[in-house]
Amino acid sequence: MSLAFQEIQETIRMIQMEKLDIRTVTMGISLKDCMDQNPAVMRKLVYEKILSHAGTLVQEAEIVSEEYGIPIVNKRISITPAAELLGTSTVEDAVELAKTLDKAAAAADIDFIGGFSALIHKGAARGDNVLLDALPRALSETARVCGSVSVATTKTGINMDGVKKLGEVIKEASERTADSNGIACAKFVVFCNPAEDNPFMAGAFHGTGEQEVVLNVGVSGPGVVLNALKRYPDADLGEVSEVIKRTAFKITRAGELIGREVASRLGIEFGIMDLSLAPTNAMNDSVAEILEEIGLEQVGTHGTIAALAMMNDAVKKGGAMASSYVGGLSGAFIPVSEDNGMIKGIEDGSLSLSKLEAMTCVCSVGLDMIALNGDAEASSISGLIADEMAIGMINKKTTAVRVIPVPGMKEGDMAEFGGLLGRAPVISLNPRSPEKFIRRGGRIPAPLQALIN
């Protein structure tokens, strides 16, 4: 047998005991050819196009999952940023388009469809404004539609008019879903330097530089990394990094194999592998617990950022070696509500919003799934977004903000979002107002880092 007994056992252990899974296969579909002046015609074209490609996605993914004995947890769709289609539409049309997307996702048996999005990092075109105005309704009147807005890049700076508007959008979306803890906001991400091939929700969209149809794959595996580290309790940090790297390599290899197989069965191109340590509330599937295994008493304490930086880097290195087409976000996610260790860190007073912000300087994304006090001002949320965008802009990396002001709740309360979205302890924003700063508007110029040509 060319494979050693131990190797077979290791793979089986990773899958059965340590929750190695393919987190998502996400089909990116270009909707550029669905544009039409008549909104009803456009909706019909969009619906038909999505189902013509993604109609069998779930079925094919399940066959591959069965053959390899490895779970594919989520099957999803991302589309061309919807704002591209909305240049001649009204806000009402845009909301209807979101509902059409919702229906298409339901018909394809997909839980989330991403791409009710706009790219306004330098400024908003007509379609973008329509989308921004429609967002609170689109997010709250649909169950499966996810949206995102790029409001800053290293190359363009930060569109502060957009930042101001998005604080208001988040606030309104939250209020429209007040009876379910503002859940509409859990489906919405604000980006700096977004990845156009990211397979993970809620920030997935099919970038304008992408091909007609593509399959991007997201693999996760905090549980596998945690268990690997537990076998080396006394290793020095160089060795810890090596263990993470090796584990990331194996996970990525498995993911690419499965992804290519699903893509080939669907007759579409394989896009990228995104190896991200994305926690879930299942016990032992936590990024915070990995940091604690490395040696922190609790996540949030001094040393958290150094440990996270090392981990994020090791994950990338392992992934880069394993696949030629690593893309998306590839690194460590730190969504609070989906990570039991992070939740506990906040409850115990070890982890704070400021520390989370600092952690986003070295991890793959940003402030993710954080519940805020319900009476947070829109301008304070805009301020929070502006800070996070600045971190991404200066560090030439993707950063994101997905926060949920929970109506009627205050610091110390626990907001339940249910299912995959988990639950989060409410954190209060700083009560001092950045209102004047936000009201000034305009665009923060691109930093010196952008001048590289």
Partner 1 sequence: MKEKKAVISVVGKDQVGIIAGVTTVLADNDINILDISQTILQDFFTMMMLVEIKDPEKMEKLQLDLEEIRNRMHLKIDVQREDLFQTMHRI
Please identify which residue in 49, 253, 402, 423 interacts with partner 1, judged by CB under 8 A: 253
Piece of 10-18, 140-148, 157-165, 278-286 that binds partner 1 (CB under 8 A): 10-18
d(CA 274, CA 294): 24
Which token pair is 367?
């402030």
Please identify which residue in 5, 37, 432, 448 interacts with partner 1, judged by CB under 8 A: 5
Piece of 152-160, 256-264, 333-341, 444-452 that binds partner 1 (CB under 8 A): 256-264
Piece of 1-9, 149-157, 290-298, 336-344 that binds partner 1 (CB under 8 A): 1-9
Which token pair is 242?
């090596």
Nearest by Cα to 207 from 81, 98, 327, 85: 81
Terminal-residue alpha carbon distance, the chain: 54
Piece of 4-12, 232-240, 407-415, 443-451 that binds partner 1 (CB under 8 A): 4-12
Cα 308 to chain centroid, rounded: 18
Please, what is the minimum distance in Å from the beta carbon of residue 9 to partner 1?
A: 8
CA angle 207, 213, 216 (to 5 degrees): 70
Size of the residue set binding partner 1 (CB under 8 A): 21
CA distances 259 to 126, 150, 272, 277, Å, are: 37, 27, 9, 17
Which token pair is 223?
């549980």
Burial call 84-94: b when 16+ CB within 10 Å, e when fewer: bbbeebebebb
Please, what is the minimum distance in Å from the beta carbon of residue 2 to partner 1?
A: 8
Please, what is the minimum distance in Å from the beta carbon of residue 212 to partner 1?
A: 25
User: Contact at 8 Å (CB) between 337 and 421?
Assistant: yes
Piece of 9-17, 164-172, 223-231, 304-312 that binds partner 1 (CB under 8 A): 9-17
Rounded to the nearest 10°, the torsion over CA 394, 395, 398, 399 is -70
- DSSP H helices in 267-303: 287-294
Question: How does DSSP classify residue 44?
Answer: H
Please, what is the minimum distance in Å from the beta carbon of residue 254 to partner 1?
A: 5
Residue 9 interacting with partner 1 (CB under 8 A): yes
Please, what is the minimum distance in Å from the beta carbon of residue 70 to partner 1?
A: 7
- Beta carbon nearer to partner 1, 256 or 293: 256
Residue 325 interacting with partner 1 (CB under 8 A): no
d(CA 90, CA 74): 33
User: Contact at 8 Å (CB) between 192 and 158?
Assistant: yes
Residue 250 interacting with partner 1 (CB under 8 A): yes
- Beta carbon nearer to partner 1, 218 or 259: 259
Residue 73 interacting with partner 1 (CB under 8 A): no
Residue 40 interacting with partner 1 (CB under 8 A): no
- Beta carbon nearer to partner 1, 66 or 109: 66
d(CA 349, CA 301): 10
Please, what is the minimum distance in Å from the beta carbon of residue 76 to partner 1?
A: 22
Piece of 52-60, 63-71, 73-81, 266-274 that binds partner 1 (CB under 8 A): 63-71
User: Contact at 8 Å (CB) between 342 and 306?
Assistant: no
Please, what is the minimum distance in Å from the beta carbon of residue 217 to partner 1?
A: 13
Cis peptide leading into 202, omega within 30 of 0?
yes
User: Contact at 8 Å (CB) between 361 and 368?
Assistant: no
Phi, psi (degrees; rounded to nearest 5) at 314: -65, -40
Amino acid letter for position 160: M
Please, what is the minimum distance in Å from the beta carbon of residue 323 to partner 1?
A: 10
- Beta carbon nearer to partner 1, 1 or 448: 1
- Residues 204-243: x where in contact with partner 1 by CB under 8 A, - otherwise, as a string: ----------------------------------------
Residue 23 interacting with partner 1 (CB under 8 A): no
Three-class DSSP category at 402: strand
Residue 10 interacting with partner 1 (CB under 8 A): yes
Residue 69 interacting with partner 1 (CB under 8 A): yes
- Beta carbon nearer to partner 1, 257 or 361: 257
Using CB under 8 A, list all residues that contact partner 1: 1-5, 7-12, 67-70, 250, 253-254, 256-258
